[in-house]
Amino acid sequence: MDIATIILTSALINGLFVLIIQSWIKNTFAKELETHKAQLQAEVAERSIKQTRTFDDQANAVATIYEKLLQLSTRSKQLSSAIGSNNYEQIKLCWTAYNQAKKEFAEYYYPKAIYINNNTGDIISQYIYKLDAMFKLTKDRTSVIFEPSNNPNVKKELEQVGISTDALDKNTAEILHLIYMDFQKLLGLEYKK
């Protein structure tokens, strides 16, 4: 019986030892798992904060760019109207206001263009090009000169330098609407039917 007692005692001690080791391993892994979970949650929260800041910056940039485009559009309409009136002083004032709006747009837009996708950026570039090309200052006065749809040579030259005349053939209100729709998509605000 001594041998049976020794074997039984040894089995119990080994079993207790195995249970203690298993418990220690479980606790160690549980603690490591909790630490790892906490680190992941902290990283996810940090990334979320960065994305929120980036989206806020993007939303502000998009809103300001659109506002400056509208101001530029208004100034171009005022200049067009002044040209139609043949009032040189009014043309001069409107020309100055138009150029100021163009300058303000460029100073804001180009540093913030990183927030705009390529397609929308291309449409904005075409819009600015169209506005620039609409007016030509001559010795006597400013005149409206840009009509690519009526001038195949102008269309060909523009297409050779990579400017889509499809967008330029649209009136400025249509181009602004395309930009507006792209901005809505960018901000996740587009209307879905």
Q: Model confidence over 89-140: pLDDT tens digits? A: 887 888 889 889 999 999 999 998 888 888 888 888 878 877 776 765 443 4
Percent of the chain beyond pLDDT 70?
Answer: 73
Higher-confidence residue of 55 and 22: namely: 22
* pLDDT at residue number 137: 45
DSSP code per residue over 77-136: HHHHHHHHHT-HHHHHHHHHHHHHHHHHHHHHHHHHGGGS-HHHHHHHHHHHHHHHHHEE
* pLDDT at residue number 139: 39
Q: Look-up: residue for tokens 């080791």?
A: 21
Q: What is the value of pTM for the model shown?
A: 0.57
Inform me whether the pLDDT recorded for 143 exceeds 60.
no
For 2-187, CATH number out of 1.25.40, 1.10.1740, 1.20.120, 3.90.1690 equals: 1.20.120
* pLDDT at residue number 105: 93
46-85 confidence digits (pLDDT tens): 776 766 677 788 888 888 998 999 899 889 888 878 777 7
At residue 150's C-alpha, the angle toward residues 75 and 156, to 5°, is 100
Calculate the alpha carbon distances from 51 to 42, 46, 47, 64, 103 in Å. Answer: 14, 9, 6, 20, 31
Whole-angstrom distance, CA of residue 193 vs CA of residue 186:
17
